Chain A
Amino acid sequence: MLVLILNGLVYGSLLYILSVGLVLIFGLRRVTNFAHGGLFMVGAYVGYAAASLGGFWVGLAVSIGVLAVFGVVIDRAIFRPLTDRDPVNTILVTFGLLLVLEDGVRTLFGKDFLVLKPPVELSGMVSILGSPFPSYRLFVIGVAVVVAAVLALWLMKSRVGLHVRAASVDPVTTGIQGIDTEILGMMVVAIGTGLAGLAGVVAAPLMALSPSMGGFVLIDCFIVVVTGGLTSFTGAFVAALVIGQIHNLGVAYFPAFASLVPLLVMVVVLVLRPHGLAKEAH
């Protein structure tokens, strides 16, 4: 039971790292990145390629860097030009991008499953209250905690973080105050996609790498983001932990309906609170 809950926490951690990227991007750009799962997948493959040259940690660093740069490109080429259009435009363009990314990775790496091993120092087991648990999984939880803490500090304590929060509430007024919201938006998108790269590499040792690996994680992320209230970081954090937990319990106890359980939770939350878990409505 303890191991089950811990595993739920591991999945929730991954969901959080991905979802918070979606929330960041949505906050500043008011778009949903349907390619986010694709970026997660690309992140895993970039990490795999770099890790085969320099080991796991190099893979992790390279993947975050490459995906952050890619985020800047996506922001310049797609998000910014389409901000004034109907949201359907970004849905379609990022969906197109997803297809291109999947096909590109399939061409470069092939269809077969690839395996990225966890680093040696984390490949052992630790004992938690007498139950053995892979230390790598504990590391994944730790990464999510660090990401959450750093993001919270950055957003709440730093000057730039204040600007980001202001711009996500009202970009026009923030701009009038003399803050370059375009640079801010670009930076936030880069952080969001960089986090997708981080999540991809961190998740890689837990699941096999395939060009379609992003799809099912992305769907749970969407449920997290909507349940959390679209723009709320705390909402995403709580929702990711809850959905991760419920998902895993569902897989263990009702395998055929595992995918329905998170949805039911979301429906209940939305019926009770139409704007999600977050307090204020936008």
Chain B
Amino acid sequence: MASSPSLASPESGGPSRLAGGIGGMLAVAAVLVVAGFSLPVVISSMLVLTLLTQATLQALLAISVGFLFRQNGLTSFGQAGWFGLAAYTVAVNGRFGWVAPETAVVAALVVPTVLAALLGTVIVRLPHLAFSMLTLAVAQAVHEVFLKWRTLANGDDGIEVRLPKRLFGLDIALFQQPQTMVVIVWIALVLVVVALLFFARSHTGLLTRAIRDNEERARYIGYETLLPRVVVYAVSALVAAIAGVLFSLYNGFVTPGLLHWSLSGEALIMAFIGGPRVIWGPVLGAGLFFLLKDFAGDHTEHWPAIIGGILMIVTILLPEGLAGLAQRVGRRLWSRRAA
């Protein structure tokens, strides 16, 4: 099964641009990583660093939504399920001390990924709308379990995440102070974006986008169309789980709210206001979301209505999101200069 260039979907600019971009992409990533280290030096305000850490974690969750839409054309309403499940895996293990904390961290990444893969074999086949409804239903069911199984997860009160002094040889304080954690989550974000870009250019990445655009034709050519889409769904769960693990280490406390659909909804809003067709769109969306929320929090209690209204307006007027708009404007300026 050789990768066929015609599989590339039009909005990515075609395979020739893909091949040329890798060096540039890695250079940008390297610059961003270095910039990450300078964050705590440049920003002295603890409040800003805390907000930035939270925004970056949410951006990871938003990226998991955007990636699924970009590759599979599907909208998940339940990414908080994977996020919260990962966070709870670390926390519950800390409570009962079943395995070493390092093993728990690995398990917290593996368990949501495997569960998503299994679930995916059933729900990825469904029509788009049914898929969205069921991601919501599954995540809420997980939420209920952690809410009601008190002996395991202590219900609504949540549990403290008990951690050792050192994790993977790193001082645990590094994960818990905003001025160091902001660097860690930032680097995680950059690495995840780079990895997802590589995935998008891989054979599976191109194939899933071909399936997204015309499943029947892809099957006609002779491709197996279920498995690649299941892989995409599992990867999106993995990204959400990475965010969940980092959150549990940083926050040191987990509550059922982490699994609630309102968090999934926030991630969805960020991804689509930002524009999931562009890989960094959800990151832009997360940044804007936090800025707006912080600003609105000072002035009004009607944040849900405001963000709901913004979501409606952006969806109707700018279906490709702000990143899509930025890209289009950028391209137009670029071509004018070239001409």
As a 0/1 sequence over residues 295 to 336 of chain B, the CB contacts with chain A under 8 angstroms (1 = contact) are 000000010110111111001100100000000000000000
Asked if A174 CB lies within 8 Å of chain B CBs, one says: no
Contact B141 A260 (CB under 8 A): yes
As a 0/1 sequence over residues 143 to 155 of chain A, the CB contacts with chain B under 8 angstroms (1 = contact) are 0000000000000
Asked if A180 CB lies within 8 Å of chain B CBs, one says: no
- Known pairs A100-B305, A215-B261, A219-B137; A92 contacts B126 (CB<8 A): no
Contact A93 B145 (CB under 8 A): no
Contact A103 B308 (CB under 8 A): yes
Asked if B272 CB lies within 8 Å of chain A CBs, one says: yes
Contact B302 A96 (CB under 8 A): no
A26 to B75, CA, bound (A): 17
User: Using a Cβ–Cβ cut-off of 8 Å, how many residues does chain B contribute to the interface with A?
Assistant: 43
As a 0/1 sequence over residues 128 to 165 of chain A, the CB contacts with chain B under 8 angstroms (1 = contact) are 00000000000000000000000000000000000000
Contact A95 B316 (CB under 8 A): no
- Known pairs A91-B129, A91-B132, A223-B137; A103 contacts B305 (CB<8 A): yes
Contact B272 A226 (CB under 8 A): no
A92 to B273, CA, bound (A): 10
As a 0/1 sequence over residues 128 to 145 of chain B, the CB contacts with chain A under 8 angstroms (1 = contact) are 111011101110110111
Q: How far is the CB of A33 from chain B (nearest CB, A)?
A: 10
Contact A256 B268 (CB under 8 A): no
Contact B137 A95 (CB under 8 A): no
As a 0/1 sequence over residues 26 to 52 of chain A, the CB contacts with chain B under 8 angstroms (1 = contact) are 100001100000000000000000000
Asked if B125 CB lies within 8 Å of chain A CBs, one says: yes
- Which B residues are CB-close (under 8 A) to A256? 144-145, 148-149
**Count: A-B pairs, CB below 8 Å:** 119
- Known pairs A104-B305, A274-B125; A96 contacts B311 (CB<8 A): yes
A266 to B136, CA, bound (A): 14
- Is chain B's binding surface mostly helix, strand, loop or mixed? helix
Q: How far is the CB of B63 from chain A (nearest CB, A)?
A: 17
Contact A85 B319 (CB under 8 A): yes
- Which A residues are CB-close (under 8 A) to B269? 92, 95
- Known pairs A226-B130, A259-B144; A96 contacts B137 (CB<8 A): no
Q: How far is the CB of A101 from chain B (nearest CB, A)?
A: 8
A81 to B319, CA, bound (A): 13
A226 to B140, CA, bound (A): 16
Asked if A198 CB lies within 8 Å of chain B CBs, one says: no
Contact B308 A222 (CB under 8 A): no
Asked if A225 CB lies within 8 Å of chain B CBs, one says: yes
Q: How far is the CB of B264 from chain A (nearest CB, A)?
A: 10
A103 to B312, CA, bound (A): 15
Asked if B48 CB lies within 8 Å of chain A CBs, one says: no
Contact B132 A32 (CB under 8 A): yes
Contact B144 A87 (CB under 8 A): no
Contact A88 B308 (CB under 8 A): no
Residue among B136, B265, B268, B312 making CB contact with A222, cutoff 8 Å = B136
Asked if A263 CB lies within 8 Å of chain B CBs, one says: yes
Asked if A97 CB lies within 8 Å of chain B CBs, one says: yes
A222 to B319, CA, bound (A): 25
Contact B138 A263 (CB under 8 A): yes
Contact B316 A82 (CB under 8 A): yes
A97 to B309, CA, bound (A): 7
As a 0/1 sequence over residues 237 to 267 of chain B, the CB contacts with chain A under 8 angstroms (1 = contact) are 0000000000000000000000001000100
A102 to B132, CA, bound (A): 21
Q: How far is the CB of A23 from chain B (nearest CB, A)?
A: 12
- Which A residues are CB-close (under 8 A) to B133? 32, 222-223, 225-226
As a 0/1 sequence over residues 238 to 282 of chain A, the CB contacts with chain B under 8 angstroms (1 = contact) are 000000000000000001111110010011001100100000000
Chain B residue at minimum C-beta to C-beta distance from A263: B141
- Which A residues are CB-close (under 8 A) to B261? 215
A263 to B144, CA, bound (A): 12
Q: How far is the CB of B123 from chain A (nearest CB, A)?
A: 8
Asked if B122 CB lies within 8 Å of chain A CBs, one says: yes
Contact B137 A222 (CB under 8 A): yes
A215 to B144, CA, bound (A): 13
Q: How far is the CB of B270 from chain A (nearest CB, A)?
A: 12
A270 to B148, CA, bound (A): 27
Asked if A177 CB lies within 8 Å of chain B CBs, one says: no
Residue among B130, B141, B315 making CB contact with A259, cutoff 8 Å = B141
Contact A102 B304 (CB under 8 A): yes
Contact B311 A92 (CB under 8 A): yes
Contact A99 B305 (CB under 8 A): yes
Contact B272 A99 (CB under 8 A): no
A103 to B136, CA, bound (A): 21
Give B30-86 interface residues, CB cut-off 8 Å to A.
Answer: 69, 73, 75, 77
- Which B residues are CB-close (under 8 A) to A260? 141, 144-145
- Which A residues are CB-close (under 8 A) to B302? 103, 107
Contact A226 B134 (CB under 8 A): yes
Ranked 7 nearest A-B pairs via Cβ = A99-B308, A103-B305, A222-B133, A96-B311, A259-B144, A96-B312, A96-B308
CB pairs A–B below 8 angstroms (27 shown):
A85-B319, A89-B315, A89-B319, A91-B75, A91-B132, A92-B311, A92-B312, A93-B312, A93-B315, A95-B265, A96-B308, A96-B309, A96-B312, A96-B315, A99-B265, A100-B308, A107-B302, A219-B137, A220-B137, A222-B134, A225-B130, A225-B133, A226-B134, A230-B127, A257-B145, A260-B141, A270-B122
Known: A96-B308, A260-B141. 4 other contacts (CB 8 A): A86-B128, A91-B75, A96-B310, A260-B144
